[in-house]
Amino acid sequence: MADTSASLRRKIASAGDLQSVVRAMKSQAAASVGQYERSVAALGDYARTVELGLGACFRSSAPLDGAPPSHGQTGRAIRAVIFGSDQGLVGRFNDVVLDHARATLAALPATAQVWAVGERISSGLADRRTPAAGTFAVPRSVQAITALVGQVMVKVVGQDEAHDAPGPRTALYLFNNRPVPGSAYAPVSQRLLPLDGSWRRKLADQPWPTGMLPEVLGEVPGEAVVEVPGEGTATVRALIREYLFVSIFRAAAESLASENASRLAAMDRADHNIEKMLRTLGGSFHRLRQSSIDDELSDVVAGFKALGAGR
Protein backbone atom coordinates (compact mmCIF):
# COMPACT_ATOMS: atom_id res chain seq x y z
CA MET A 1 0.00 0.00 0.00
CA ALA A 2 1.43 3.34 -1.10
CA ASP A 3 2.08 5.99 1.53
CA THR A 4 -0.16 9.02 1.51
CA SER A 5 0.90 12.53 2.36
CA ALA A 6 -0.82 12.26 5.77
CA SER A 7 0.86 8.94 6.65
CA LEU A 8 4.28 10.30 5.69
CA ARG A 9 3.69 13.32 7.89
CA ARG A 10 2.89 11.02 10.83
CA LYS A 11 6.02 8.94 10.21
CA ILE A 12 8.21 12.03 10.02
CA ALA A 13 6.71 13.39 13.24
CA SER A 14 7.21 10.05 15.04
CA ALA A 15 10.80 9.77 13.84
CA GLY A 16 11.47 13.33 15.00
CA ASP A 17 10.07 12.56 18.47
CA LEU A 18 12.18 9.40 18.68
CA GLN A 19 15.28 11.33 17.65
CA SER A 20 14.68 13.83 20.45
CA VAL A 21 14.53 10.97 22.99
CA VAL A 22 17.66 9.35 21.55
CA ARG A 23 19.60 12.62 21.67
CA ALA A 24 18.55 13.20 25.28
CA MET A 25 19.75 9.71 26.24
CA LYS A 26 22.94 10.31 24.27
CA SER A 27 23.65 13.50 26.23
CA GLN A 28 22.94 11.76 29.54
CA ALA A 29 25.27 8.87 28.67
CA ALA A 30 28.04 11.28 27.66
CA ALA A 31 27.71 13.15 30.96
CA SER A 32 27.75 9.89 32.94
CA VAL A 33 30.86 8.62 31.17
CA GLY A 34 32.70 11.80 32.11
CA GLN A 35 31.52 11.54 35.73
CA TYR A 36 32.84 8.01 36.23
CA GLU A 37 36.06 8.60 34.30
CA ARG A 38 36.80 11.65 36.47
CA SER A 39 36.22 9.58 39.61
CA VAL A 40 38.75 6.99 38.40
CA ALA A 41 41.28 9.73 37.64
CA ALA A 42 40.73 11.36 41.03
CA LEU A 43 41.22 7.99 42.72
CA GLY A 44 44.65 7.71 41.11
CA ASP A 45 46.31 10.15 43.52
CA TYR A 46 44.97 8.32 46.55
CA ALA A 47 45.98 4.95 45.09
CA ARG A 48 49.49 6.34 44.56
CA THR A 49 49.66 7.40 48.22
CA VAL A 50 48.56 3.94 49.39
CA GLU A 51 51.16 2.27 47.17
CA LEU A 52 53.91 4.52 48.53
CA GLY A 53 52.91 3.55 52.06
CA LEU A 54 52.87 -0.14 51.19
CA GLY A 55 56.26 0.18 49.51
CA ALA A 56 57.73 1.72 52.66
CA CYS A 57 56.27 -1.07 54.78
CA PHE A 58 57.55 -3.81 52.46
CA ARG A 59 61.05 -2.31 52.50
CA SER A 60 61.12 -2.36 56.30
CA SER A 61 59.82 -5.94 56.54
CA ALA A 62 61.55 -9.22 55.78
CA PRO A 63 63.51 -9.32 52.49
CA LEU A 64 61.37 -10.14 49.48
CA ASP A 65 64.15 -11.29 47.14
CA GLY A 66 63.53 -14.95 47.89
CA ALA A 67 59.74 -14.73 47.90
CA PRO A 68 58.27 -16.32 44.78
CA PRO A 69 55.40 -14.59 42.94
CA SER A 70 52.10 -15.63 44.45
CA HIS A 71 50.65 -17.37 41.41
CA GLY A 72 49.78 -20.73 42.94
CA GLN A 73 46.22 -21.24 44.12
CA THR A 74 46.47 -24.76 45.54
CA GLY A 75 44.62 -25.08 48.80
CA ARG A 76 43.03 -21.65 48.53
CA ALA A 77 39.35 -20.77 48.52
CA ILE A 78 38.68 -18.78 45.37
CA ARG A 79 36.22 -15.91 45.34
CA ALA A 80 35.31 -13.59 42.52
CA VAL A 81 33.20 -10.48 41.98
CA ILE A 82 31.79 -9.73 38.52
CA PHE A 83 30.58 -6.20 37.74
CA GLY A 84 27.74 -5.87 35.23
CA SER A 85 24.81 -3.68 34.19
CA ASP A 86 21.08 -3.83 34.87
CA GLN A 87 20.27 -1.13 32.28
CA GLY A 88 19.21 -1.68 28.68
CA LEU A 89 20.75 -0.55 25.39
CA VAL A 90 24.21 -1.87 26.25
CA GLY A 91 24.43 -4.73 23.75
CA ARG A 92 26.53 -7.72 24.92
CA PHE A 93 28.02 -5.81 27.86
CA ASN A 94 27.15 -8.48 30.44
CA ASP A 95 27.87 -11.44 28.17
CA VAL A 96 31.36 -10.16 27.36
CA VAL A 97 32.48 -9.87 30.99
CA LEU A 98 30.75 -13.15 31.94
CA ASP A 99 32.52 -15.07 29.17
CA HIS A 100 35.86 -13.58 30.19
CA ALA A 101 35.29 -14.43 33.86
CA ARG A 102 34.17 -17.97 33.05
CA ALA A 103 37.26 -18.64 30.91
CA THR A 104 39.59 -17.25 33.59
CA LEU A 105 38.00 -19.08 36.51
CA ALA A 106 37.84 -22.36 34.59
CA ALA A 107 41.65 -22.39 34.41
CA LEU A 108 41.98 -22.26 38.23
CA PRO A 109 42.44 -25.45 40.28
CA ALA A 110 39.31 -25.00 42.44
CA THR A 111 35.71 -23.98 41.93
CA ALA A 112 35.17 -20.32 42.70
CA GLN A 113 32.42 -18.69 44.72
CA VAL A 114 31.14 -15.86 42.55
CA TRP A 115 29.30 -12.70 43.60
CA ALA A 116 27.39 -10.70 41.00
CA VAL A 117 27.01 -6.94 40.80
CA GLY A 118 23.66 -6.69 39.00
CA GLU A 119 20.67 -8.98 38.60
CA ARG A 120 21.49 -9.61 34.94
CA ILE A 121 24.94 -10.90 35.84
CA SER A 122 23.32 -13.17 38.43
CA SER A 123 20.88 -14.48 35.80
CA GLY A 124 23.75 -14.98 33.35
CA LEU A 125 25.64 -17.03 35.93
CA ALA A 126 22.56 -19.17 36.54
CA ASP A 127 22.20 -19.74 32.78
CA ARG A 128 25.83 -20.91 32.74
CA ARG A 129 25.13 -23.29 35.65
CA THR A 130 27.23 -21.22 38.07
CA PRO A 131 24.76 -19.83 40.63
CA ALA A 132 25.90 -16.62 42.29
CA ALA A 133 26.82 -16.79 45.97
CA GLY A 134 25.27 -13.34 46.36
CA THR A 135 24.09 -10.34 44.37
CA PHE A 136 24.81 -6.63 44.87
CA ALA A 137 22.81 -3.78 43.37
CA VAL A 138 24.48 -1.80 40.59
CA PRO A 139 25.28 1.72 41.87
CA ARG A 140 23.51 4.58 40.09
CA SER A 141 26.03 7.31 40.91
CA VAL A 142 29.63 7.85 41.97
CA GLN A 143 28.45 8.44 45.54
CA ALA A 144 26.73 5.04 45.62
CA ILE A 145 29.94 3.18 44.70
CA THR A 146 31.33 3.65 48.22
CA ALA A 147 28.37 1.77 49.71
CA LEU A 148 28.86 -1.06 47.20
CA VAL A 149 32.56 -1.32 48.09
CA GLY A 150 31.64 -1.54 51.78
CA GLN A 151 29.23 -4.40 51.07
CA VAL A 152 31.85 -6.29 49.05
CA MET A 153 34.45 -5.79 51.79
CA VAL A 154 32.07 -7.16 54.43
CA LYS A 155 30.39 -10.02 52.54
CA VAL A 156 33.27 -11.21 50.34
CA VAL A 157 36.59 -10.11 51.84
CA GLY A 158 35.35 -10.14 55.43
CA GLN A 159 34.16 -13.76 55.26
CA ASP A 160 37.63 -14.89 56.32
CA GLU A 161 37.12 -13.48 59.80
CA ALA A 162 33.55 -14.77 59.97
CA HIS A 163 34.75 -18.34 59.32
CA ASP A 164 37.96 -18.06 61.37
CA ALA A 165 39.97 -18.71 58.23
CA PRO A 166 43.17 -16.73 57.68
CA GLY A 167 43.22 -14.38 54.71
CA PRO A 168 46.17 -16.04 52.91
CA ARG A 169 43.96 -19.05 52.21
CA THR A 170 41.71 -16.96 49.99
CA ALA A 171 42.24 -15.80 46.41
CA LEU A 172 40.09 -12.82 45.40
CA TYR A 173 39.44 -11.86 41.77
CA LEU A 174 37.62 -8.90 40.21
CA PHE A 175 36.10 -8.94 36.71
CA ASN A 176 34.79 -5.85 34.94
CA ASN A 177 34.65 -4.04 31.62
CA ARG A 178 37.12 -1.18 31.15
CA PRO A 179 36.70 1.73 28.69
CA VAL A 180 38.97 1.77 25.64
CA PRO A 181 39.35 4.49 22.98
CA GLY A 182 36.49 4.79 20.50
CA SER A 183 33.53 4.60 22.92
CA ALA A 184 34.16 0.89 23.42
CA TYR A 185 35.15 -1.40 26.27
CA ALA A 186 37.14 -4.56 26.95
CA PRO A 187 36.84 -7.14 29.75
CA VAL A 188 39.64 -7.16 32.33
CA SER A 189 40.43 -9.12 35.48
CA GLN A 190 42.54 -8.49 38.56
CA ARG A 191 43.65 -10.74 41.37
CA LEU A 192 43.67 -8.76 44.60
CA LEU A 193 44.55 -11.53 47.05
CA PRO A 194 46.96 -13.05 47.76
CA LEU A 195 49.36 -10.17 47.11
CA ASP A 196 51.63 -10.91 44.18
CA GLY A 197 55.30 -11.22 45.12
CA SER A 198 56.59 -9.38 42.07
CA TRP A 199 54.10 -6.55 42.74
CA ARG A 200 55.32 -6.29 46.33
CA ARG A 201 58.95 -6.15 45.21
CA LYS A 202 58.08 -3.47 42.66
CA LEU A 203 56.50 -1.32 45.37
CA ALA A 204 59.43 -1.91 47.72
CA ASP A 205 61.92 -0.85 45.01
CA GLN A 206 60.21 2.39 44.03
CA PRO A 207 61.98 5.50 45.41
CA TRP A 208 60.39 7.72 48.05
CA PRO A 209 59.36 11.04 46.40
CA THR A 210 60.95 13.30 49.07
CA GLY A 211 64.11 13.41 51.13
CA MET A 212 62.20 12.73 54.36
CA LEU A 213 62.09 8.96 54.64
CA PRO A 214 58.99 7.40 56.28
CA GLU A 215 58.88 5.45 59.51
CA VAL A 216 56.55 2.46 59.89
CA LEU A 217 54.71 2.39 63.20
CA GLY A 218 54.40 -0.77 65.23
CA GLU A 219 51.42 -3.04 65.63
CA VAL A 220 48.36 -1.85 67.54
CA PRO A 221 46.88 -4.76 69.56
CA GLY A 222 43.24 -5.59 69.02
CA GLU A 223 42.89 -3.97 65.60
CA ALA A 224 40.81 -5.81 62.95
CA VAL A 225 43.11 -7.13 60.25
CA VAL A 226 43.32 -8.47 56.76
CA GLU A 227 46.06 -11.06 57.06
CA VAL A 228 49.10 -10.71 54.81
CA PRO A 229 51.85 -13.33 54.95
CA GLY A 230 55.13 -11.86 56.14
CA GLU A 231 53.67 -8.56 57.40
CA GLY A 232 52.38 -8.26 60.94
CA THR A 233 52.03 -4.56 61.65
CA ALA A 234 48.67 -2.87 61.94
CA THR A 235 49.97 -0.19 59.56
CA VAL A 236 50.43 -2.69 56.74
CA ARG A 237 47.04 -4.23 57.41
CA ALA A 238 45.34 -0.83 57.30
CA LEU A 239 47.10 0.00 54.03
CA ILE A 240 46.06 -3.36 52.57
CA ARG A 241 42.44 -2.59 53.40
CA GLU A 242 42.81 0.77 51.63
CA TYR A 243 44.39 -0.99 48.65
CA LEU A 244 41.40 -3.34 48.47
CA PHE A 245 38.99 -0.40 48.76
CA VAL A 246 40.71 1.52 45.95
CA SER A 247 40.86 -1.52 43.67
CA ILE A 248 37.19 -2.45 44.13
CA PHE A 249 36.09 1.19 43.74
CA ARG A 250 38.09 1.52 40.52
CA ALA A 251 36.62 -1.68 39.07
CA ALA A 252 33.07 -0.48 39.80
CA ALA A 253 33.70 2.98 38.32
CA GLU A 254 35.33 1.52 35.21
CA SER A 255 32.39 -0.82 34.73
CA LEU A 256 29.89 2.04 34.98
CA ALA A 257 31.97 4.20 32.61
CA SER A 258 32.09 1.30 30.12
CA GLU A 259 28.33 0.77 30.41
CA ASN A 260 27.60 4.40 29.58
CA ALA A 261 30.22 4.43 26.80
CA SER A 262 28.46 1.43 25.26
CA ARG A 263 25.09 3.18 25.57
CA LEU A 264 26.57 6.35 24.08
CA ALA A 265 27.82 4.40 21.06
CA ALA A 266 24.41 2.71 20.66
CA MET A 267 22.58 6.05 20.86
CA ASP A 268 25.00 7.57 18.37
CA ARG A 269 24.25 4.78 15.89
CA ALA A 270 20.51 5.17 16.51
CA ASP A 271 20.74 8.94 15.96
CA HIS A 272 22.56 8.36 12.67
CA ASN A 273 19.96 5.80 11.52
CA ILE A 274 17.04 8.07 12.45
CA GLU A 275 18.66 10.97 10.60
CA LYS A 276 19.01 8.75 7.55
CA MET A 277 15.36 7.65 7.89
CA LEU A 278 14.21 11.26 8.15
CA ARG A 279 16.04 12.14 4.95
CA THR A 280 14.42 9.18 3.18
CA LEU A 281 10.94 10.01 4.48
CA GLY A 282 11.45 13.70 3.67
CA GLY A 283 12.45 12.84 0.12
CA SER A 284 9.41 10.57 -0.29
CA PHE A 285 7.12 13.26 1.10
CA HIS A 286 8.48 15.93 -1.25
CA ARG A 287 8.19 13.64 -4.28
CA LEU A 288 4.61 12.74 -3.33
CA ARG A 289 3.78 16.39 -2.78
CA GLN A 290 5.34 17.38 -6.10
CA SER A 291 3.46 14.59 -7.87
CA SER A 292 0.21 15.85 -6.32
CA ILE A 293 0.98 19.42 -7.42
CA ASP A 294 1.79 18.22 -10.95
CA ASP A 295 -1.52 16.34 -11.10
CA GLU A 296 -3.42 19.43 -9.94
CA LEU A 297 -1.68 21.60 -12.53
CA SER A 298 -2.44 19.05 -15.23
CA ASP A 299 -6.12 19.12 -14.22
CA VAL A 300 -6.13 22.91 -14.34
CA VAL A 301 -4.48 22.96 -17.78
CA ALA A 302 -6.83 20.27 -19.10
CA GLY A 303 -9.86 22.18 -17.79
CA PHE A 304 -8.62 25.41 -19.33
CA LYS A 305 -8.16 23.72 -22.72
CA ALA A 306 -11.62 22.18 -22.51
CA LEU A 307 -13.18 25.57 -21.79
CA GLY A 308 -11.28 27.09 -24.72
CA ALA A 309 -12.41 24.38 -27.10
CA GLY A 310 -16.08 24.85 -26.14
CA ARG A 311 -16.22 28.55 -27.11
Supply the pLDDT for residue 21: 85
More confident residue, 217 or 191: 191
Do residues 43 and 72 share a domain? yes
pLDDT at 294 over 80: no
pLDDT at 162 over 50: no
Supply the pLDDT for residue 226: 42
Of 92-106, 253-267, 296-310, least confident by mean pLDDT is: 296-310
Q: What is the mean pLDDT of residues 76-104?
A: 90
Q: What is the CATH number of the domain that holds 66?
A: 3.40.1380.10
Supply the pLDDT for residue 32: 78
Supply the pLDDT for residue 183: 64
Q: What is the mean pLDDT of residues 148-157?
A: 92
Do residues 99 and 13 share a domain? no
Q: What percent of the chain has pLDDT over 90?
A: 27
What is the separation of C-alpha 187 from the centre of its chain, rounded to a whole number of angstroms? 9
Mean pLDDT of the chain: 81
Do residues 153 and 293 share a domain? no
Instruction: Give the three-state DSSP class for 116.
Output: strand
More confident residue, 78 or 32: 78
Structural domain range at position 203: 27-258
CA distance 166 to 174: 20
Do residues 133 and 62 share a domain? yes
pLDDT at 161 over 60: no
Q: What is the mean pLDDT of residues 47-51?
A: 89
Do residues 239 and 298 share a domain? no
Do residues 123 and 140 share a domain? yes
Do residues 146 and 245 share a domain? yes
pTM of the prediction?
Answer: 0.75
CA distance 87 to 84: 9
Do residues 270 and 137 share a domain? no
Supply the pLDDT for residue 79: 94
Do residues 42 and 179 share a domain? yes
Highest mean pLDDT among 64-78, 106-120, 179-193: 106-120
Residue 139 and residue 256 in contact, taking contact as beta carbons nearer than 8 Å: yes
Q: How many domains does the chain have?
A: 2
Do residues 295 and 199 share a domain? no
Confidence at 169, pLDDT banded by 50, 70, 90:
low
**Where does residue 294 rank: exposed (0-12), middle (13-18), buried (19+ CB within 10 A)?**
exposed
3-state DSSP helix/strand/coil % of the chain, to nearest 5 = 60, 10, 30
Supply the pLDDT for residue 31: 78
Supply the pLDDT for residue 229: 41
Residue 246 and residue 42 in contact, taking contact as beta carbons nearer than 8 Å: no
Do residues 227 and 302 share a domain? no
Do residues 173 and 56 share a domain? yes
Q: What is the mean pLDDT of residues 216-236?
A: 53
Confidence at 224, pLDDT banded by 50, 70, 90:
very low
CA distance 115 to 158: 14
